[in-house]
Amino acid sequence: MTVALSTPVTGGAQTGFTSPTYTVALDTSAPSARTKQYAVTAVGGTQTGVRTSTVGDPFTIGYTPPAVLRGPPSANPITGKYGQIPFNVHKLNSRKGVNFAANQVPVTNFINTDIGIGAGGESYDAANIRAMIALHIGALNQFSAGLGDSVVTGIP
């Protein structure tokens, strides 16, 4: 299964928003050739003041797989122990242009999530990798409004 978004994307709860949705389109101007990036082309629900993606004011989400997938090392033939386990790092990033003052060019803000999977773990213990990701996404959904409030107010 590939990483893909179906449109519209239902947004997490946020104070002041009602049923936020985001219509996305595949964006061929991703920062890396390996990145699959989507740009927000329309917003739905009540999100007063939210802008869609433009070149100078991006609203994107992207996924970048590891450059080279690495497998686990071989065990030491004498001790049976494994050396340092390499990690395959998958990256998710969101970018959004945000105004900081009147009559100024928006500054691109970002959220980066790196998912580091120890080589071999995807084969040996896939269920626990899936559980980790499910919890991460579920927690982000639950934390969505509180996280938005905390980032805006500075109160954790």
Beta-bridge mates of residue 88? 117
pLDDT at 113: 92
Give every CB contact of residue 80 below 8 A, 6+ residues apart in sequence: none
What is the CATH topology of the domain spanning 9-74+82-153?
Porin (2.40.160)
Quote the pLDDT of residue 23. Answer: 94
pLDDT in the model for residue 85 = 92
What value does the mean pLDDT take over residues 72-96? Answer: 92
Residue 1 banded pLDDT, cuts 50, 70, 90: very low
**pLDDT, tens digit, 9 for 90 and up, residues 45-66:** 999 999 999 988 999 999 999 9
- Dump strand ranges (E) for 28-122: 36-46, 59-64, 87-98, 107-118
- Side-chain-side CA neighbours of 49 within 13 Å: the count stands at 5
